Amino acid sequence: MATTYIRRTDGRRPPQTGGYGRSSGSNSQGGSRDRSFGGDRRGGSSFGGGRSFGGNRSRGGGGKRGFEEMSVDLSKLINKAVPGKEPEVYVPTHQFVDFAIDDRLKENIIKKGYTKPTPIQDQSIPHVLEGRDIVGMAQTGTGKTAAFLIPLIDKVLKFRELGKKERVLIMVPTRELAIQIEQEFYGFARMLQINSVTCVGGANILPQIRVLRRDPSFVIGTPGRLKDLAERGELKFSAFNTVVLDEADRMLDMGFIPDMRAILGQMPKGHHTLFFSATLSREIEKLIGDFLHDPVRVSVKTRDTAETIDQDVVFIKPGENKFEVLAAMLKDSKEFNKVIVFGRTKHGVERLTRDLNQQGIKSESIHGDKTHGKRQKALGLFKQDHVNVLVATDVAARGLDISGVSHVINFDLPATYEDYTHRIGRTGRAGVTGKALTFIEKR
């Protein structure tokens, strides 16, 4: 049996850590809640089958700050990658040219370099084209964005030919995922005269309102901002006959289920619903039962972590300075050339970024307190290799496709094993070996 280490924080500055994991401000659970979202993330999941984590955590504004962080099954944090191992080849039933979609859309798909559908695309697109509700079990990086965008763009085009207007609402948990979906959308919708708007917190609401008043066919947004726009009278959910809920499990974690229910409840009866999630909890199953009609279930889930990720732990001995250990690692630029470092709190992430820069390690931060523009700038600098290190809260753990990430470092432990898998999934992509390191403080 693997050794289990229990780490506990009680709101006081832990010894020798520089206070990076300390909760501060009104958000005692740090980066797992984005201020723009309007919802609290709930704890209570277990990490690696160990003790429950998060149940004692304070939520939202103030209150008692102490919480038990997690129990760690080391066997789930240590795994040797298999270099050069070829993933199992999926043989699709369809080709993109086989789908009964608009020829102009097919041309855009080819121009984007898409040839063979991924499993989620191959198994979902035909059902969406038939107007069936879908429950897709799929993780980040499986191609699910195209699995819903391609058939829904075609749907809008077909309704247009009939002289009707079809509008699509896409709900996602984070700003970054919303923006990424919009970028994919414009690649597929090129020259088709179909418009979209991204409605997310942290960005100026007035330009979003201006575009909404033009009735774009696609509205992509986070539940908090969508609800805000509806309360202002700028968005009527009754005008949408099609809705996509992407990464629903993450929206559940962040406390968005009431908002999602409120939004779905205002849509026309019999609306077309596409539902994607990496996991299906009891609460999500109830949401599916309440709002989806005879859905087709498609599952393309793979193992928890990719075989291309080399996982290990870094033990911080009593009296050892955790930050100094991290800085010494990152100064080895030959190995640690493009690194995402995950911290727990927004203030801790900001401080860690500042201290790394003082050590000559080019770093940028991304967390919920940064404005939309600053977050996009930080991501751009990291993607373009102008900085070597991106320090982030869990806002960056899902939905971001950044190529060439050599390492993911869990400077602070995540809330759940599921969060861990999403964090480390930022490396080891596209068949290239990556490394994930988790700091464990021995007591």
- How far apart CA 197 and CA 210 sit, in angstroms, is 10
Tell me: the pLDDT tens digits for 192-208?
Answer: 999 999 999 988 999 99
What is the tens place of the pLDDT at every residue in 339-382? 999 998 889 999 999 999 999 999 999 987 888 788 889 988 99
Q: Is the pLDDT of residue 189 over 60?
A: yes
Domain boundaries, the chain: 4-84+307-441, 96-299
pLDDT at 134: 97
Q: Residue 318 is which amino acid?
A: P
Q: What pLDDT was estimated at residue 30?
A: 35
**What is 4-84+307-441's CATH topology?**
Rossmann fold (3.40.50)
CATH 3.30.465.10 fits 96-299, yes or no: no
**Residue 117 has which token pair?**
């559908």
What tokens were used for 229? 């726009």
Rounded distance between C-alpha atoms, residue 231 and residue 234, angstroms: 8
218-221 sheet: strands from edge to edge: 196-199, 218-221, 168-171, 242-245, 272-277, 134-137, 296-299
Q: Note the pLDDT of residue 28.
A: 34
- Can 4-84+307-441 and 96-299 be said to share one CATH topology? yes
Residues 302, 319: Cα–Cα separation, whole Å = 40
Angle (nearest 5°) at CA 232 between 228 and 237: 70
126: pLDDT strictly greater than 90: yes
For residues 395-424, average pLDDT: 81
- The stretch 210-237 carries a mean pLDDT of 97
Residue 72 pLDDT exceeds 70: no
19-48 pLDDT, tens digit each: 454 433 333 333 333 333 333 333 333 333
Per-residue pLDDT reduced to its tens digit, 284-331: 999 999 999 999 999 886 555 567 788 899 999 988 999 999 999 998
Question: Could you identify the residue written with the tokens 């008043």?
Answer: 213
The three-state DSSP-derived secondary structure of the chain is CCCEEEEEECCCCCCCCCCCCCCCCCECCHHHCCCCCCCCCCCCCECCCCCECCCCCCCCECCCCCEEEEEEEHHHCCECCCCCCCCCCCCCCCCHHHCCCCHHHHHHHHHCCCCCCCHHHHHHHHHHHCCCCEEEECCCCCCHHHHHHHHHHHHHHHHHHCCCCCCEEEECCCHHHHHHHHHHHHHHCCCCCCCEEEECCCCCHHHHHHHHCCCCCEEEECHHHHHHHHHCCCCCHHHCCEEEECCHHHHHHCCCHHHHHHHHHCCCCCCEEEEEECCCCHHHHHHHHHHCCCCEEEECCCCCCCCCEEEEEEEECCCCCHHHHHHHHHCCCCCCCCEEEECCCHHHHHHHHHHHHHCCCCEEEECCCCCHHHHHHHHHHHHCCCCCEEEECHHHCCCCCCCCCCEEEECCCCCCHHHHHHHHCCCCCCCCCEEEEEEEECC
Residue 71's closest CA among 21, 9, 6, 1? 6
pLDDT at 404: 87
Residue 303's pLDDT is 53
Give the integer Cα–Cα distance in Å for 18 and 20. Answer: 6
